[in-house]
Amino acid sequence: MNSGESSNMSGMADLVAAVNGVASTDFTHFSEDELTEFLQQCEMCKRVLSAMDSRLIIEVSDRSMPQTSGAGGVVRYLRDTLRLTKYDATCRAKVTEQVGEFRDPTGHLREPALAATAHAYEIGEISRDHVRNIIEVLHQLPDAVDAETRTEVETQLLDYSREGWPDDLPRIGREITARLDPDGSLTTDADRKRMRGITIGRQRADGMSWVQGWIMPTVRTVWDVIISKYARPGVCNLDDPESPNLFYGKVDKAVLEAAARRDTRTAAMRIHDALAMVLNPDIDPAKLGKHRGLPVQAVITMSLEDLENAAGIANTATGTQLSINEALKMAAGTKPILAIFDRHGMPLHLRRARRLASSAQRLALIASEKGCTRPGCDAPPSMCAVHHVTDWAKGGPTDLRNLTLACDHCHALVNDGPNGWKTVVMGKDSPFAGRTGWIKPLPVDPTQTPQVNHLHHRAEQIAQSVARSQNRRARLAYQARIAHRAPE
Q: Is the separation of the CB atoms in 313 and 178 below 8 Å?
A: yes
The neighbour count for residue 414, using CB atoms within 10 Å, is: 18
Per cent of the chain over pLDDT 70 is: 74
Distance CA 122, CA 99 (A): 9
Q: What is the mean pLDDT of residues 403-429?
A: 88
**300 beta partners:** 316
Q: What is the DSSP letter of 347?
A: B
**The pLDDT of residue 351:** 38
Going by C-alpha positions, the residue among 174, 206, 204 that lies closest to residue 192 is 174
Sort strands 294-295 and 422-425 into parallel, antiparallel or unpaired.
unpaired
Distance CA 5, CA 255 (A): 69
Distance CA 29, CA 362 (A): 46
Q: What is the DSSP letter of 435?
A: S
Cα 168 to its chain centre, rounded Å, is: 3
Position 443 pLDDT exceeds 60: yes
**The pLDDT of residue 340:** 42
C-alpha pair distances (Å), 374 with each of 280, 319, 344, 410: 38, 16, 19, 7
Highest mean pLDDT among 2-6, 277-281, 419-423, 468-472: 419-423
Q: What is the mean pLDDT of residues 242-258?
A: 75
Position 194 pLDDT exceeds 90: no
When computed from its CA atoms, the radius of gyration of the chain, rounded to whole angstroms, is 27
Going by C-alpha positions, the residue among 213, 215, 225, 211 that lies closest to residue 268 is 211
- What amino acid occupies position 131? V
Pick 370 or 301 by higher pLDDT.
Answer: 370
Pick 80 or 279 by higher pLDDT.
Answer: 80
Going by C-alpha positions, the residue among 393, 387, 424, 391 that lies closest to residue 408 is 387
- Place 296 in a pLDDT band, splitting at 50, 70 and 90: very low
Give pLDDT tens digits for 116-146: 999 999 999 999 999 999 998 888 777 677 8
**The pLDDT of residue 187:** 63
Give pLDDT tens digits for 303-348: 666 666 666 667 766 566 667 766 766 666 555 444 444 444 554 4
Cα 172 to its chain centre, rounded Å, is: 8
Distance CA 460, CA 268 (A): 31
Q: What is the DSSP letter of 170?
A: H
Element (H, E) at 403: strand 403-407
The alpha helices in 332-429, defined as continuous H runs, are 359-369, 408-413
Position 93 pLDDT exceeds 80: yes
The mean of the pLDDT values for the chain is 79
**The pLDDT of residue 308:** 61
Distance CA 147, CA 184 (A): 20
Position 112 pLDDT exceeds 90: yes
**The pLDDT of residue 83:** 92
**DSSP states along 241-286:** TT---STTS---HHHHHHHHHH----HHHHHHHHHHHHT-TT--GG
* Residues 6+ positions from 182 with CB-CB distance below 8 Å: 309, 311, 312
Distance CA 284, CA 327 (A): 24
**The pLDDT of residue 320:** 62
Positive or negative, the CA dihedral 337, 298, 176, 464 is positive
Pick 243 or 113 by higher pLDDT.
Answer: 113
Distance CA 160, CA 271 (A): 31
Instruction: Give the up-direction half-sphere exposure of residue 284: CA atoms within 13 A in the CB hemisphere.
Output: 5
Distance CA 256, CA 233 (A): 9
Backbone angles phi, psi at 75, to 5 degrees: -60, -45
Pick 292 or 412 by higher pLDDT.
Answer: 412
Cα 156 to its chain centre, rounded Å, is: 15
**The pLDDT of residue 318:** 56
Backbone angles phi, psi at 300, to 5 degrees: -115, 135
Max CA separation in the chain (angstroms): 89
Residue 26 DSSP SS3: coil
